[in-house]
Amino acid sequence: LKKVAVVGTGHTKFGKRNDVTIRELAFEAIKEAFEDCGVTPSDVGFTVVANYGVFSEDICPAPYILEYAGLNPKGAMRVEAACASGSAAIHVAYWAVQSGLTDLALAVGVEKMFQVDTPTAVELLGRAGDILWEFIPFGTTFPGYYAMIATDHMNKYGTTEEQLAMVAVKNHKYGAMNPLAQLQREITVEDALKSRVIAWPLKLYDCCLISDGAAAVILASEDKAKKITDTPIWILGLGSATDTGYLARREDISTLRSAVLASKQAYKMAGIEPKDVDVAEVHDCFTIAEIIAYEDLGFCNKGEGGKLIEEEQTYIGGKIPVNVDGGLKSKGHPIGASGVAMAAEITKQLRGEAGKRQVPDAEIGLVHNVGAAGQFCYVTIYGRNY
């Protein structure tokens, strides 16, 4: 198998961006990625745009992003895998390089969610759920789905509301240290516990944010990577899986089967075990999702995710630092951008460029990116060495 590396990254500030169009927002990230590795748009052979797309009048944004960024006339497409769209884009860009189509591919994720009001955004996200059997008949939205998942986990494993709050506290702590984060402020367990209930047991601080933002990564073949950077970050393993859209049909909702399968596939390809991972970005759309991710990825045994955060093992200095950029919870979650932003953060960590949020000597990093409530999961493993 040919080797493929991340050679450049870009990451806008996440937050409310009424000052830019989608194409301008995407360009901010693309420009930074180009400057990061000194390549020019004409070097790029293929572009993959990740965008959920329903919040905006720009329902077909790829051509306009390419035009604005000077990427024409090279090939392109948009990909969508709900909240895992960003990772799906990286997987396609990887294949484009791996198959020899090009020696340099760009994956760019972008979303402008503030173009609609919050109830509309929650509804449009909810439509990634099963519109036939759950969304329309019951009005289930994602806080509702993850509340059911949380109560099941609490019932089976004794996970507590305090443990959920501890995930939020950790992610806000690191978000406060990240100038790109949407909410740069620390919170306490008490703040989280007394915030208003959204869908019990999930409260306001258990839920990720509605965000505008963009991120970009440039992938290169081995030869090209070695020419343009001294710090290529290699893609060691990829995995992806799906699960039923209709949650009632799943045997167990205290786990996301797609995450278990996608991570097994990625670990196998990378030839590593969970204990080899030095730093991880996991999909904390809700605090319970991060706890379940610890278990699904093998960072702890099933049912012990609550204990892992309680023991602060997912802080820098712990067993496996997780979401030390603030996560979706505090950094923000502009749907199409999130998976690409996770890859950008892991790249910085493995390069040793994460500043005061640096995980010391991080050599292997993992990105876990979930679409909807596990309908999709993409896992990607990155390494400083191949």
* Ramachandran category for residue 266: left, alpha or beta (phi over 0 → left; psi -120 to 50 → alpha): alpha
Look at residues 265, 278, 256 and name the one whose alpha carbon lies nearest to residue 237.
265
Binding mask 109-148 for a copy of itself (x = CB under 8 A): ---------------x--xx-xxx---x------------
Q: Is residue 197 a contact point for a copy of itself (CB under 8 A)?
A: no
Residues 214-253 close enough to bind a copy of itself by CB under 8 A: 238-246, 249
82: left (phi over 0), alpha (psi -120 to 50) or beta: left
Using CB under 8 A as the binding rule, whether residue 315 contacts a copy of itself is answered as no
Among 5, 29, 33, 66, binds a copy of itself (CB under 8 A): 66
What is the DSSP pairing of strand 4-11 with strand 212-221?
antiparallel
Give kind and range of the element (H or E) at residue 148.
Answer: helix 142-157
Nearest to 308 by CA among 318, 317, 316: 318
Closest approach, Cβ 23 to a copy of itself, in A, equals 8
Choice between 81 and 166, CB closer to a copy of itself: 81
* Shortest Cβ 269–a copy of itself spacing (Å): 9
Residue span 4-43 as binding mask against a copy of itself, x where in contact by CB under 8 A, dash where not = -----------------x-x--------------------
Part of the chain binding a copy of itself (CB under 8 A), chosen from 47-55, 227-235, 309-317, 347-355: 47-55
Q: How far is the CB of 84 from a copy of itself (least distance, A)?
A: 8
In angstroms, rounded to a whole number, what is the distance separating the alpha carbons of residues 50 and 335? 9
Tokens describing residue 230: 């001294």
Please state, in angstroms and as integers, the Cα–Cα distance from residue 213 to each residue in 114, 324, 381, following that order.
10, 18, 23
Neighbours of 282 (CB within 10 A): 28
Buried (b) or exposed (e) across 86-105, using 16+ Cβ within 10 A? Answer: bbbbbbbbbbbbbeeebbbb
Q: Is 283 in the site for a copy of itself (CB under 8 A)?
A: no
Residue choice 79, 107, 280, 289 for contact with a copy of itself (CB under 8 A): 79
Residue from 18, 19, 40, 59 that binds a copy of itself (CB under 8 A)? 59
Choose, by CB under 8 A, the member of 63, 274, 318, 352 that binds a copy of itself.
63
Alpha-carbon gap, residue 312 to 137, rounded angstroms: 41
CB-nearer residue toward a copy of itself: 195 or 242: 242
Pairwise CA distance, residues 121 & 142, whole Å: 11
Minimal distance, residue 199 CB to a copy of itself, in Å: 20
C-alpha closest to that of 341 among 20, 3, 28, 16 = 28
State yes or no: residue 60 binds a copy of itself (CB under 8 A). yes
Cβ at position 68, least distance to a copy of itself in Å: 9
Catalytic residue numbers, as ranges: 83, 333
Give the CB-side neighbour count of residue 214, counting CA atoms within 13 A. 24
Q: Write out the residues near a copy of itself by the rule CB under 8 A.
A: 1, 21, 23, 46, 52-54, 57-60, 62-64, 66-67, 71-82, 85, 88, 91-92, 94-96, 98-101, 124, 127-128, 130-132, 136, 238-246, 249, 257-258, 261-262, 371-372, 375-376, 378
